[in-house]
Chain A
Amino acid sequence: MMRCPPFRYLAPETAAEAARLVAAHGPGAALLAGGTDLLPRLKRGQAAPDLVVGLTRVAALRRARAGADGLELGAGVTLAATARHAALTPAHRALALAAGGAATPHVRNMGTLGGNLCADTRCGYYDQPRPWREAIGFCLKAPAGCAEPAAARAGEVAGTCWVAPGGRRCWAVASSDAAPALIALGAEVTVCSGEGSRRLAVAALHRDDGRAPLLLAPGEVLTTIHVPALGPAWRTTYWKLRRRGSFDFPVGAVALAVRLAASGEVLEARAALGGVASRPLVVETDALLGRRLDDEAVGAFAEAAVAPARPLDNTDYQPAWRRRALREAVAGALREVRGDPPEALGVLARAAARVLPRA
């Protein structure tokens, strides 16, 4: 039986108290939400906190509220509840697809939206049991085998990267499904510390560093995800590439949101890629503004969108295939939002269609 290493456990009733507990304890403390990211890491010996602060008793984190300005989802709302939330409109389709297509039904019943945004980056050389990693030599994401909390090791470089040997950075992959979707929808989050709270864009939550991807201070607790109400002129979608229709993390993903004029011209657009860098990649969309989504615009945008993607050999599938397939996915997602019928969207769309929420 794979077991978690022993730790102390506390279950405060407010997010502020949780933040204070973690801050007071220092680097050895870890927050726990649904546990579907943290528990596997504990069992693989990637983390060994001596204090785990559970968020299950923080009732406020499980609330969801819909208002005129949009939807406020508590960080503890599960992926399953997010995907089928009654207040999601057709314009929030990207989020329903991303949350409803992550992992498996069981994991979505447990895993939370906040945990999804804070989940660790992934790498085939790292997401292995400790003896496996020890046998090839620990990599620089966890030079001593076990990763210290992000803040303690920011800046320090030691060990080898098995993906890019000789390099001085970790290329572990941002694998959250919800993050790119929330970025495309223009969502923000509130995080609270013992002292107060601040609000920031989901797009500003991560940095491109596989070892410490999260831009939260130790002890900051993500409390709320603010999803703006998007008018009916907004069309959004999320396409995810993976080997199986279930279980698998994205090996490439695109979330797209466009606001179209009645004439078909793009008035506003936002896009983000998942699974091809150590953070969700925000895509430059200015080239679409004022244009109709004809085939030429679609092709040019898809080509430009994947240019900054850096798929490396640390997930399923070959990097070159991932880049090519992702370009097709970006083009397909754009054709979907411009209104092409599902049967005209090709084989990648059929993979995405497996996770269409029930109408």
Chain B
Amino acid sequence: MEHAPATGRTRALRRLLVNGEPVDVPVAPHETLLEVLREGLGLTGTKHGCELGECGACAVLVDGVPVLACLTLAVELAEHQRVDTIEGLADGARLHPLQEAFAALGGLQCGYCTPGMLMTAKALLAREPRPTAAQVREALAGNLCRCTGYGPIVEAVLAAAPHVAGPAPLGAPAAAEARP
């Protein structure tokens, strides 16, 4: 095994699948996914709060799983790894049901925690299409909000759930199997 003597500042190109788009981004070993998203790719929707894992403002989905971009070294992501950020949540001009519900029900005030909240909630609904309020609170227990008091956020996630296309309910005919 060859151990290339990188200097530590050397950036190497890494291909990631960011919001469904393949992008090649230069990554230095010590750079976090947060730095790479915000500074390398100009995707400033992902927020930086504490930068130490203590607030959830930087939450993004890696392979669909909510993680903290501030504590993820970009160099540790696999080639072609799926990274989903707030910029990919809306479908063009059409807001995601979670965004609609947050706006309609007061799920945000200053908005700083919102990208992390939305991405974390998205992952919850993918895994648990009809969550209880307790499950929503548990899933969002790593996202601090200093404005809303959380009540309207939980309400918004519950309200959005029925409008988010999830996996087919149990017992429904498996459409995919019918295709050639």
Q: Write the residues of chain A forming the contact surface with B, with a CB cutoff of 8 angstroms.
A: 1-12, 17, 21, 32, 34-36, 39-40, 42-44, 50, 52, 54, 56, 103-107, 109-110, 245-247
Contacts and interface: CB of A to CB of B under 8 A. Distances in A.
Contacts of A105: 66, 120, 138-139, 141-142
B6 A110 contact: no
A110 B71 contact: yes
B126 interface: no
B48 interface: yes
Nearest to B58: A106
Contact of B76 (A5, A56, A247): A56
Nearest to B34: A1
B139 A4 contact: no
Contacts of B21: none
Contact of A106 (B5, B34, B120): B120
A32 B52 contact: no
Interface of B: 1, 3, 5-9, 28-32, 34-35, 38-39, 48, 51-54, 56, 59, 65-68, 70-73, 75-76, 120, 138-139, 141-142
Residue with the greatest number of chain B CB neighbours at <10 A, chosen from A21, A34, A105, A106:
A106
Contact of B29 (A1, A8, A12, A109): A8
B7 A8 contact: yes
Q: Give the secondary structure class of A's interface.
A: loop
A110 B5 contact: no
Contacts of B66: 105-106, 109
Contacts of A11: 75-76
B141 A36 contact: no
A35 B39 CA distance: 21
Given A103-B142, A105-B142, A110-B71, 19 more contacts: A6-B7, A12-B1, A17-B1, A32-B73, A32-B76, A34-B71, A35-B76, A39-B32, A39-B53, A40-B52, A44-B52, A50-B8, A54-B76, A56-B76, A104-B53, A106-B67, A106-B120, A109-B65, A247-B142
B56 to A, nearest CB: 6
